[in-house]
Amino acid sequence: MLNGKTALVTGSTSGIGLGIAKALAKQGANIVLNGFGDAEGPQKEIAALGVKVAYHGADMSKPIEIEAMMQFAADKFGHIDILVNNAGIQHVAKVEDFPVERWDAIIAINLTSAFHATRLALPAMKARNWGRIINVASIHGLVGSAEKSAYVAAKHGLVGLTKVTALENATTGVTCNAICPGWVLTPLVQKQVDAKALALGLSNEEAKKLLLQEKEPSMQFTTPEELGELAVFFCSAAGNNVRGVAWNMDGGWTAQ
């Protein structure tokens, strides 16, 4: 379905980004990976799916490095058809205790990086009259949780950026949508499980159960593979007129 297309997925050396990259590769898209984790393993996994793969280690908090990554992808594959803004970090603390440097980093990586990658990807997408921009927001783009001020602010901002990008391109073949996952058991969430286990003297399994119990009626983690399939849908012909949605995959979190 995506043969000959190129997808750039930020923050794709692990977790959700890697899951989405693999799902798009299975549909035939060439992939540009990015992120700070091990890049060799993911590159091998994706190459084994029979597509071309490249990696750029841009720090998504640095606009100049984002520009270099976008240029690298264009030089390597000619153009970017699918941009998945996924890189993200978390920090948990009350507003009055929130380290200013962590606030700035979360806004830069979880929100501002998507603006830069989007503004740099749009001209070539519009010129070809086809493009997909998928912003990995979060359920925290729709509702709040205590002690996550920077993350919730950034993700609400990302849902806003999604709507405006969709509207500005509504008469073109370029769509922009957001994915809003609930809990996904990735390194980002495992850190929160570990913190809960330590604070409450719980086992890993007990801490995971408590985390789910607080928010997700399904008592199940969403998987990177499931989120990958949602990204594939946005890229399909059936997704041609899906514009500016913030689509949750959250085990019922926001239905409550």
Catalytic center residues: 151
* C-beta of 19 vs 131, nearer to ligand NAD: 19
Strand pairing report for 53-56 and 131-136: unpaired
Site for ligand NAD in 197-256 (CB under 6 A): none
Which positions from 48 to 77 touch ligand NAD by CB under 6 A, shown as an x/- string? Answer: -----------xxx----------------
Q: Which is nearer to ligand NAD, 62 or 126 (CB)?
A: 62
Q: Between residue 152 and residue 191, which ones bind ligand NAD under the rule CB under 6 A?
A: 181, 183-184, 186-189
- Shortest distance in whole angstroms from residue 172 CB to ligand NAD: 26
What distance in Å separates the CA atoms of residue 13 and residue 55, rounded to the nearest whole number? 9
- Cβ-based nearer residue to ligand NAD, 4 or 187: 187
Q: Which of 83, 89, 142, 235 binds ligand NAD (CB under 6 A)?
A: 89
For 8, the 3-state DSSP assignment is strand
Q: Please tell me what DSSP assigns to residue 26.
A: H
6 touches ligand NAD by CB under 6 A: no
Q: Which of 6/34 has CB closer to ligand NAD? A: 34
At 197, is the secondary structure helix, strand, or coil? helix
Instruction: Using CB under 6 A, pick the residue from 5, 17, 142, 235 that binds ligand NAD.
Output: 17
x/- mask, ligand NAD, residues 113-132, rule CB under 6 A, reads --------------------
Residue-by-residue DSSP string for 131-180: EEEEEE--GGGTS--TTBHHHHHHHHHHHHHHHHHHHHTTTTTEEEEEEE
φ/ψ of residue 29, rounded to 5: -75, 140
Q: At what angle do helices 149-168 and 113-128 cross, to 10 degrees?
A: 20
Q: How many residues bind ligand NAD (CB under 6 A)?
A: 29
Backbone angles phi, psi at 222, to 5 degrees: -75, 150
Q: Smallest Cα–Cα separation from 113: which of 60, 160, 154?
A: 60
Residue ranges that bind ligand NAD, judged by CB under 6 A: 11-17, 34-37, 59-61, 86-89, 109-110, 136, 138, 181, 183-184, 186-189
